[in-house]
Amino acid sequence: MAVESPAGRFDVTANDEQSILVLNVGSSTLKFGMFPIEEGDEPFLHGVLEYGESAAGQFRVVDTRGTKSESREVKADRGSAVPELLRYLDSASQFGSVRAVGHRLVHGGSKLRDPVRIDARVRALLEEVVPLAPDHLPTELRAIDDVSRFSPSMSQVACFDTAFHSEMPRVARLFGLPRSLSESGVVRYGFHGLSYEYVADTLSRHGDLPARTIIAHLGSGASIAALRDGISVDTSMGLTPTGGMVMSTRSGDLDPGVVLYLLRSAGLSADDVDDAVKRSGGLLGISGSSSDVRELLAASSTDPRAEEAIAVFCYQAKKLIGAYAAVLDGIDALVFTGGIGERSDAVRGRICKGLGYLGLELDAKLNREGAPRISATRSKVAVRTIRTNEEAMIARHTRTAIEGALGAGKAPV
């Protein structure tokens, strides 16, 4: 049907088949995709709703079957983005085809590891995990509640960024803290699991997943993981997504004494420290100007602080790759993914420089082109770039979670 917008009319191709709606709620964006319920990683309708602190945002949607797209301003903030999207899909005669909604949740805690259909028990368990991800889970849980209010009988599935790392050995999970704390759940969980899972599955499907693989998910949030035979054995993020390597605005790992010093001697409050390590640290904090790698690279030749920020980012990534090569007793493949990993040949080149001792050598031309394989022919380590697709992974998990009910001819509940 035709949907009114300030820019005119947008005709969404009618869809009569059953579908899965995937919601990926971030701190400043709501990404969504509508996938066929039977199979397929390509959404027939997808888009993003960008929002900020004010009630103004940008909504972009692409109808791949009708090869149409729309971009318009909307009145939406973090709290109203999902209802805005649901109303849009309903007005476009799309929501009626939805048989299940899959959600990306950043943290499942110690009790929720695998994708799971959401019921009252699961919803209560998720509430208990909020202290582990206070910047993410409240918004993600609100999205679940928004869908429940809009369609009370809709089946919903939670897919966790921590799930992929659930088989990490205990030696990689434990912090050097009293056992009572680790037994209460203060351990390394790891994140970006849906991205790692998609990349590993993509490699496996093409017969290109060797025994010892390191994946670098480099974006606004950045982490690195070591995989043995496709299973995560270590990863850089820890109890929360703030740990690991330096990121756009997150500090990454700190000496615990730094936090104690800031609280006890520097006069910072807990909220001040929270801001320093999550929102004003990282590349933004080091450079004093930007959290965007593209902007920092452009300024690096004339701004020493921008250059220093990029240097720290690449140094820490290289250091982790070396550490995980030790964990794996060598390395067969290195994969770059995430917005920076997929697109920045300069960052990939700087990270890989000096890793020749591992048998790794880039092909400069292929790296500039962002080819699927960017290692030199004589390189003993295959270096690849793969575009990640968390939404497709969520759609797969949602199909699996609901297929019993649909196969039995029952309505999802």
Name the nearest CA neighbour of 219 among 143, 78, 313.
313
Q: What is the CA radius of gyration of the chain?
A: 22
Beta bridge partners of 337: 217
Buried b or exposed e, range 43-82, using 16+ CB within 10 angstroms: bbbbbbbbbeeeeebebebbbeeeeeebeeebebebebbb
Neighbouring residues of 310: CB distance < 8 A, sequence distance ≥ 6: 283, 293, 296, 297, 300, 347, 350
Q: Which of 217, 200, 198, 203 is nearest to 337 (CA)?
A: 217
Closest CA to 198 of 391, 45, 343: 391
Of 41, 90, 119, 161, which one is the catalytic site residue?
161
Nearest Cα residue to 232 out of 144, 135, 167: 167
Is 41 a residue of the active site?
no
Question: What residues act catalytically?
Answer: 161
